[in-house]
Structure 1
Amino acid sequence: MTRMAGRLRGAIGAVALVLAASAPAFADYAQYREFFEPIPAIPPIPAHNSMTPEKIELGKFLFFEPRISASGVISCATCHNPALGYTDRIPRATGHDGQIGERNTPTVLNSGFFGAQFWDGRADTLEDQALGPIEAEIEMAMPIGDAVQRLGEFVMYREMFDAAFPGDEDPIRDENMALALAAFQRTLTTPGSPLDLWLAGDEGAMSEQQKRGMAAFVERGCVACHSGPALTDSLFHSIQVPGSTDMGRFVVTGEEFDRHAFKTPTLRNVALTYPYFNNGNVATLDEAIRVMAQEMLAVELPDEEVADIEAFLNALTGRIPDFRVPSLP
């Protein structure tokens, strides 16, 4: 994937610069439907991790469970707060013992559609990603064996693991924790945004300004990277935002073309997931749009066009999953 991203960057840049020469307004917006996909209610499900109700319920409990952290007070939901667009809305995540991480917390909404996880893509799938934050010293700082042992102390969790993994002689183990967390996260999809409704034929779902912003988004070439149902290509592109010294994907691969390269973030629900970029140093959508125009297109957008694109990005907010936060054992 990394080498593909490197080859694509030059082509994307050339296409984007050509498109950036002008961003004409169109009265007929129907032509832009072909550039977008409505987001399905359920993402692709891997063959080895079926989404049974029992497994999803267990994953939900684990997502909110702070006792699988060394301090006993940090859970997945601490940084991925449902009330905050499944982020924490601070520039960089705060973890175990008050440590400040290097990167902004990405949303897990629609993460089942991502082709890579984390800003640097060090995990390919939700299953690969699930246990990393639990063990990370700067996040939850709990050795996974200790987390498994702690869960096994509760009758309720023993029963839930038995129900989620019937026939498994040793159901309470790290592999099953990852499967359950991933299954729950695949339920965190957000269909029903104004864009989705417009794609389905509801012409009044988006305002005229949002449609102008959509046209500019396409004509400027933003869809070259922000594509697919989650509006991300899940590839890696070099960008240095204000205040960032992070080497990005380079830390994972050691490849020079991955220096300062980060995964394209999803734009779904982007109005809810501020602050922006890998270091969270950009507070508003207005500023984020201007940074992207300068970094990726080498242009300074007119204020009116920035406002139109911002209006379009607000049309990407879908229905946030509605469920009862579990009462833990």
Structure 2
Amino acid sequence: MSEKNIILKSSISGILLAFLLLFFLPESRTAGYENVPRLNPNCPPGFKRNADNECIAQSLYMQYDSPNNKGVGGLQTGLPEIRDGFSPQEIDLGRYLFFDPVLSGSGTISCATCHDPKKGFSDGLPTSIGHNGQQLKRAAPSLWNVAFLKKLFWDGRASTLEEQLKGPLFSEEEMNNTPESLLKTLNEIQEYRAFFAEAFPKRRAEDRIELNEVYRAIAAFQSSLLSLNSKYDRYAHGYHEALNEKEIEGMNVFRSFIARCAECHTPPLFTNQQFAVIGTPEPDGLPLDPGAEIPFNDKTLRGAFKVPSLRNIAKTAPYMHSGNFSTLRETVEFYTKGRGHAVPEDEDIILHWHIWDPQLSDYELDRLVDFLNTLTDETFMPRIPERLPSGLKPSI
């Protein structure tokens, strides 16, 4: 047989093999997906994949033994326990779901609508906008480092990410969907069927998507949002040239007994994960938001809200649960205007003990703002999908 015939026969065999693979592989893996990438098999930055295909968080703070539960937190203090161990496929599936407005009843609102990565995973509004343009009651909190948090929502009514995300998904004021409608929609999208089969390999490819899989995938993605490599962190790990003189002055004010910022915003997470009644004003003369009093049925928590992390705080204006302060300078100034100065006269709330009258100077307030700006780190910003399985445009 001539060399030309051998090459021709080999080419025909290769084409035949490709034809057989195309038509005899399981349908969920091939039909209609020739140009669709598989889920990312690699862990996001900040995680290392182990032998069980789990993404385990990596951080220099893990070398420190001291727990983040005593004092005001030294520079080299360990972080709280993190929620990790998701597979890279679960995380990547959650990334698609997070940006997909198909999760809402109207097909116009995604998780990213209120948690925009370009705005510190908040939305830049005093209070968020929901279904049909409804004005919601509170500001959207940032999702950076949410994997460390033990209580979620401003009033702490959820204890897990899965529990938290059910709120906006099925709220008539927010994403206005129902469990039945959500499952029907996702199961009608063949590409999502294939993605779920890949992310959850113990199930059969033909199995229908289930709610617990949706919740887990979105929780996996949210848990991957780590921000621990700011200028402050480089300083804390020993590179003292990372901060300039004014930023160091601001850090010293932040940690001082006079300002007492670090007693609630405890490094390195910059929250003690507790609730505090600080008496911030409500917008436009609205009545006092009862906050944590409602879910915990505790009158001592009237007007109490979860102490937020200050990580990437410069990206998440406006501030407080009501979005009442448009700048960091206004926010830090609130604490030096005197104890309870913004509490309505008809309210008898129990202010947190550290809300007093520190009488910080304008210079000290400016240095505080300088320091807060050093907590910005978006090194591990996730990539927004260029296309979604639903065919809709990412909603942000």
| TM-score normalised according to structure 1 size | 0.84
Across the aligned residues of Structure 1 and Structure 2, the Cα RMSD in angstroms comes to 2.0
Aligned to 2:263: 224
Structure 1 segments unaligned to the other structure (5+ residues):
1-31
Find out whether 1:243 has 2:302 as its counterpart.
Answer: no
Q: 1:114 to 1:45 in 2, by over 3 A?
A: closer
Aligned to 1:274: 317
CA offsets 1:196-242 (integer angstroms, 9 cap, x no match): 00011111111111111111111122111111432111111112212
Greater RCO, CA 8 A, separation 6+: 1
Q: Offset at 1:145?
A: 2.0
Alignment partner of 2:156: what SS? Answer: coil
The amino acid across from 1:221 in the alignment is R
CA offsets 1:267-312 (integer angstroms, 9 cap, x no match): 0011111100010010010110011344523233210000111100
The percentage of aligned residue pairs carrying the same residue is 37
Q: Is the 8 A contact 1:213 1:308 kept in 2?
A: yes
CA distance in 2, matches of 1:200, 1:33: 17
Alignment partner of 1:131: what SS? Answer: helix
The amino acid across from 1:44 in the alignment is I
Q: Is the 8 A contact 2:72 2:266 kept in 1?
A: no
Aligned to 1:328: 388
CA distance in 2, matches of 1:72, 1:253: 34
Find out whether 1:172 has 2:214 as its counterpart.
Answer: no
Structure 2 segments unaligned to the other structure (5+ residues):
1-70, 340-354, 390-396
CA distance in 2, matches of 1:262, 1:231: 15
Aligned to 2:329: 286
CA distance in 1, matches of 2:149, 2:325: 23
Q: From 230, 235, 258, give the equivalent of 1:193.
A: 230
Find out whether 1:111 has 2:150 as its counterpart.
Answer: no
Structure 1 stretches of at least 4 aligned residues deviating more than 3 Å after TM superposition: 36-40
CA distance in 2, matches of 1:178, 1:71: 20
CA distance in 1, matches of 2:72, 2:154: 29
Q: Offset at 1:159?
A: 0.9
State how 1:54-203 maps to structure 2 within 5 Å: 54-168=89-203, 170=207, 172-203=209-240
Q: 1:304 to 1:228 in 2, by over 3 A?
A: closer
Aligned to 1:44: 82
Q: Offset at 1:143?
A: 0.6
Q: Is the 8 A contact 2:225 2:381 kept in 1?
A: no
The amino acid across from 1:45 in the alignment is R
Q: 1:267 to 1:98 in 2, by over 3 A?
A: same
CA distance in 2, matches of 1:208, 1:270: 21
Q: Offset at 1:163?
A: 1.2
Q: From 349, 364, 373, give the equivalent of 1:305.
A: 364
The amino acid across from 1:257 in the alignment is T
Q: 1:224 to 1:60 in 2, by over 3 A?
A: same
Aligned to 1:317: 376
CA distance in 1, matches of 2:294, 2:311: 27
Q: Offset at 1:182?
A: 0.8
CA distance in 2, matches of 1:146, 1:233: 38
More helix by share: 1
Q: Is the 8 A contact 2:145 2:223 kept in 1?
A: yes
Q: Which has the higher mean CA deviation after the structures are superposed, 297-306 or 275-284?
A: 297-306
Q: 1:228 to 1:299 in 2, by over 3 A?
A: closer
Aligned residues: 294
Task: Look at both structures and tell me which one has the larger radius of gyration over its CA atoms.
Answer: 2
